[in-house]
Amino acid sequence: MNKYNHPGVPYFQHVSEHCIHYMSIDGVIFGFSENQLKVLLLRWKGTDEWSLPGGFIYKLESVDAAAGRIVQERTGLNQLYLKQFHVFGDANRYDQADTWQRTKMPLEGIKWSERTISIGYYALVNYSKVTPMPDLITDECRWWNIQDLPRLLFDHNHIIEVALHSLRRELNEQPLNHLLPDPFTIPELQRLHECILGTALDSRNFYKKMLASGQLERLPERRSGTSHKAPYLYRFQETQSGEILPEPGT
């Protein structure tokens, strides 16, 4: 592949014509599997360099819709939970020369703005329902454990850190069921909390807290098949009030 046939060139030409310049969206797609919190990353064509999935906003497209489209294209999901968490707007967010060299993209074909302001969204998705799909300029799309990330392109390591910290802060208000099988067990929910918080939790206290919240509905069945006591299955109750704005601080 050389500069004359790299598929990024027509892609960026399309973007340059139809999308808002100087802006992008980056998506931190969280999944949960094998007791690990994971994020979906892309490997750029012909390289060993990874980045977050991202994309651009069409001139008349809502920003939330653009984020949804971008995440949907990489995961195949038509139902997902998305949350805008931060704008990365430094004039020098990353070393541009170094980054574009690492991507092996032909700079003259893809550089359509001197800098990019990126709106960060995180998504909570059901790992088992995702079909990771690379895009035009990437060869591979797959999950990485959040503790074991490579050095990413752009400032994407930083963006993931900020996303994780946001998720941590907002843990109790977020619909974590999007990250779990449906239905799920309390131990699964506990391990998810532990992964997000990075700390161990006491199972007795965790049970009490979850059951006392009144948000969980115990199903008649249990999850069997393991060589130990079968746990009960639960579901979050759908009683989400129509409240749009957050409640006064705690």
Partner DNA sequence: CCAAAAGTGTTGGCTATACACCCATGA
Partner DNA sequence: TCATGGGTGTATAGCCAACACTTTTGG
Residue type, 47: T
Q: How far from the centroid of its chain's Cα atoms is residue 134's Cα?
A: 15
Half-sphere exposure of 34 (CA within 13 A, CB side): 5
Q: Which one among 101, 172, 203, 213 touches a copy of itself, defined by CB under 8 A?
A: 172
Q: Shortest gap between Cβ of 69 and a copy of itself (angstroms)?
A: 13
Residues in the chain: 250
Q: Which one among 18, 197, 222, 237 touches DNA, defined by CB under 7 A?
A: 222
Residue 185 touches which of a copy of itself, DNA, none (Cβ within 5-8 Å per kind): DNA
Pick 76 or 89: Cβ nearer a copy of itself: 89
Give the binding range for a copy of itself (CB under 8 A) out of 100-108, 128-136, 170-178, 226-234. Answer: 170-178
The per-residue DSSP string of 87-155 comes to EE--TTSS-HHHHHHHHT--HHHH--SS--EEEEEEEE--GGG------TTEEEEEEEEGGG--PBSTT
Quote the tokens at residue 155: 């400032």
Pick 3 or 208: Cβ nearer DNA: 208
Task: Quickly tell me which residue has 């294209």 as its tokens.
Answer: 73
Does residue 35 interact with DNA by CB under 7 A?
Answer: no
Q: Which one among 47, 61, 69, 109 touches a copy of itself, defined by CB under 8 A?
A: 61
> Using CB under 7 A as the criterion, which residues of the chain lie in contact with DNA when the complex forms?
185-187, 202-205, 207-209, 222, 224-232, 250
